[in-house]
Amino acid sequence: MTGEARVDFRTHPGQYRHWRLGCDGPVATLTMDVDEQGGIVPGYELKLNSYDLGVDIELYDAVQRLRFEHPGVRAVVVTSGKEKIFCAGANIRMLAASPHPWKVNFCKFTNETRNGIEDASAYSGQTWLAALNGTASGGGYELALACEHIMLIDDRSSAVSLPELPLLGVLPGTGGLTRVVDKRHVRRDRADYFSTKSEGLSGKKAVAWRLVDEAVPRAQWNEVVRERAEELAGRSGRPADATGIELTPLAKTRTDEEISYGHVTARLDRARGVAEITVTGPEAEPPASLDALHAQGAGFWTLAVTRELDDLILDLRTNELELGTWVLRTHGDPASVLAYDQFLLDHHDDWLAGEIVLYLKRTLKRLDVTSRSLLALIEPGSCFAGSLLELALAADRSYQLSGVFEEIDPEAAPATVAVGPLNLGPLPMSNGLTRLQTRFLGDPDALAAAEKRSGDALAAEDADALGLVTFAPDDIDWDEEVRIAIEERASFSPDALTGLEANYRFPGPETLETKIFGRLTAWQNWIFYRPNASGPDGALRKYGTGQRADFDRKRV
């Protein structure tokens, strides 16, 4: 799909082609006005406010900037700049022409952005309101479903719909089915009717069925939208007089062999199919005060390293499909990492400190749902402590060196790991549990033992005994064990590994997020491969040709 061109996820409002962001006191308006000729790759037109990955990259950027650059915003109105159409969803021509990995990565990124909108409403005091001034179909309605309140213009033509099944032979790809029944509590039988009726529902019936919260006549539309936004803004505890920080452009260097930022580097070993990622801990002490934190802004270590990790994950996931194993390392002083963590916790009531922790939470969740094998290597000089220990806990396996590398640096301090306060609650996974709770699911004694050692620098033997690492080889066995582990991952079936890892990473409770990323990712991998959808006579290929799709009628 992308040919030689790589997708860059960095943008800013001055570069937007598809969105307009405006702020009026406590209310921001995000207007979708898609440039039909602005597809991220050639070959299709983005008609009827339909979207592709490029449109979603801008939306994600806007969500982030609203949280960090506009702390005074308490309600966000998302609406359309086009007449009688809110959004027609993902562009069908784009989907039909895209290879399978592009479809799945596109849907996954879109899902994560939708979840980020919900996170803003739930935790940041920025409540999102969908003002549907025209029809919202497919992914357009799914965008509305991510908002806390949905308003639909009542003009006898505008409707909400999920037409993917009747028109395309696929399913809503960004959480629509799950949010209809789990979030909006639409009855199952009504949801079934709605999702098989391509024209959808409008007006009073859409309200009665809970598909939207209110239908407003055109004559009162602007007034009621403004009133509702002000009402939602009035419920927020977000500081009205706060000054935002600028999310300055990321300093990034990319070659065929390496991606590097200020604190994060990834070496791309294509021969082995490995990305070797190193995260560097802070070089300075935490700021002495909240004023100093705000003065540092995007340069504050935790925020800077989170932004870099976020961009790196998206870059590798989209542009480096064959680098199937990510090796995670850290370098720095564990005590400094814990000090930065403690600073954030000590100032958790401050809006910026809170947003930094929430952003770290979302970025670690992005790592959790990434379809790559994750191996953490804990060596002398590592700083897998607190917030960076989460990288090792997110990994499929972790190796901690017992002792030191005698022939390289016999005087080095042995590698340690340290549990810290950020591991004990503020950074939950999609299942609602911390990574420690997930690791020790069903074993409360092991969980308590690990939590009891919070703050301790744990050498390999202690970490192994507590279950915090998978293996603790000495320097005699280290190179061989690590080499074999990496080579084995590279030799296995990548899609089988993806299914294995996705199942093992999310034990415990099921939530809206685990349903979307568990069931839905599985559905996407199946739904998009089926000949009924993507085959030469499938619905995606036949859409718009005037020909009927030829379905294999067997159901299994």
Q: Is pLDDT of 81 > 60?
A: yes
Residue range 49-69: mean pLDDT, rounded:
98
Is 75:24 a contact under the CB 8 Å cutoff?
A: no
Q: Is there a domain that residue 1 lies in?
A: no
Answer yes or no: do 79 and 206 share one domain.
yes
The pLDDT of residue 520 is 65
In which residue are the tokens 């993917």 written?
164
Residue range 146-154: mean pLDDT, rounded:
98
Task: List the CATH number of the domain containing 39.
Answer: 3.90.226.10
Q: Is there a domain that residue 247 lies in?
A: no
Do you know the residue count of the chain? 556
Helices assigned H by DSSP within 272-321:
290-296, 301-319
Answer yes or no: do 183 and 284 share one domain.
no
| % of the chain surpassing 90 pLDDT | 87
Q: How far is CA 347 from the centre of its chain?
A: 25
Neighbouring-strand partners of residue 397: 375
The pLDDT of residue 35 is 98
Confidence tier at 3 by pLDDT (50, 70, 90): very low
Per-residue model confidence as pLDDT tens digits over 266-281: 999 999 999 999 999 9
The pLDDT of residue 556 is 73
Answer yes or no: do 453 and 338 share one domain.
yes
The pLDDT of residue 72 is 96
Residue 29 is part of which domain span? 13-234
Q: Is pLDDT of 1 > 60?
A: no
Three-class DSSP category at 231? helix
In angstroms, the CA 339 to CA 297 distance is 18
Cβ-proximal residues to 64 (8 Å cutoff; 6+ apart), any chain: 116, 247, 359
Helices assigned H by DSSP within 369-412:
389-394
Residue range 206-218: mean pLDDT, rounded:
98
Mean pLDDT, the chain, whole residue set: 95
Answer yes or no: do 498 and 522 share one domain.
no
Torsion angle of the four alpha carbons 420, 426, 430, 433, in this order, in degrees rounded to the nearest 10: 60
Tokens of 396: 């499929």
Q: Is there a domain that residue 98 lies in?
A: yes
Residue range 120-126: mean pLDDT, rounded:
97
Answer yes or no: do 156 and 285 share one domain.
no
In angstroms, the CA 332 to CA 80 distance is 47
Q: Is pLDDT of 190 > 70?
A: yes
Overall domain count for the chain: 3
Cα separation values, 465 from 123, 191, 199, 444, 472, Å: 36, 50, 59, 15, 10
In angstroms, the CA 477 to CA 483 distance is 10
Answer yes or no: do 200 and 321 share one domain.
no
